[in-house]
Amino acid sequence: MTDSERHFLGEEWRACCGRRLHIVQAARAAVVADVAKLAAESVYFVSHIGHLDAVCCVQLSWSLLALSLAIPALFSAEGQRKHRNLLPFIVLKVVECVVCACVLLLIFLLGVSGPIGYSALDWLIRWKYRRIEEKDVLTFTLATFLVISLLLVLNCYVLFTICRLREYFRLKALHLYSEHRNQIIRSLIRVQ
């Protein structure tokens, strides 16, 4: 094993589970978890609690597009050359993190602003999630706050992992290109 192979398989590219997984395996696990999250969101959450509106359709379509571009970049042998295909997934995760943070801030501000905030929060929850009854609004709000907090943490972690993976692929492609170029130059110098 050469030094360059040791560098790309080395400890600095270990990412999750107590630095036990390489960045590629960690990114694969993150994408599989995101597919599971998307399936749970579209099957359970939309059909049992809320409704499928235009915002949900756009978010689900964008997620499916980003995942369909990211999966070949992660699971195929040619994927290392396609690190640019991870950009839609990265943008999706950035937007999801921003939206989660804004929703958390809105829930917090409406929750601490007294009776007017409570009534606005009650109206928003019952408008968006029509199957929630009036007696369950506070419980649903607290559960939503906790779930969105968890989603924010997970989305930030996935974003960090995918950004590191993209950097890994970029550096590895640059290294392979320069190694191939140096090999050609060496063979040209030997001929002369």
pTM: 0.78
Q: What's the pLDDT band for 98 if we cut at 50, 70, 90? A: very high
How much is the pLDDT for 8? Answer: 56
The fraction of the chain above a pLDDT of 70, given in percent, is 82
Q: What's the pLDDT band for 99 if we cut at 50, 70, 90? A: very high
How much is the pLDDT for 50? Answer: 63
The answer to whether residue 115 scores a pLDDT higher than 80 is yes
How much is the pLDDT for 1? Answer: 45
How much is the pLDDT for 144? Answer: 85
What is the rounded CA–CA span in Å between residue 104 and residue 95?
Answer: 14
The whole-chain average pLDDT of the chain stands at: 80
pLDDT in tens, 70-81: 888 777 766 556
Across the range 99-114, mean pLDDT stands at 90
Max avg pLDDT among 68-72, 148-152, 184-188 = 148-152
pLDDT in tens, 23-60: 888 888 888 888 888 888 777 766 666 666 777 778 78
Max avg pLDDT among 15-29, 79-93, 100-114 = 100-114
DSSP-assigned states of every residue in the chain: --HHHHHHHSGGGEEETTTTEEHHHHHHHHHHHHHHHHHHIIIIIHHHTS---HHHHHHHHHHHHHHHHHHHHHHSGGGGGGGGGGHHHHHHHHHHHHHHHHHHHHHHHHHHS-HHHHHHHHHHHHHH-TT--GGGHHHHHHHHHHHHHHHHHHHHHHHHHHHHHHHHHHHHHHHHHHHHHHHHHHHHHHH-
Q: Where are the domains of the chain?
A: 3-191
How much is the pLDDT for 11? Answer: 58
Q: Which residue has the higher pLDDT, 82 or 21?
A: 21
How much is the pLDDT for 94? Answer: 94
What is the rounded CA–CA span in Å between residue 129 and residue 140?
Answer: 10
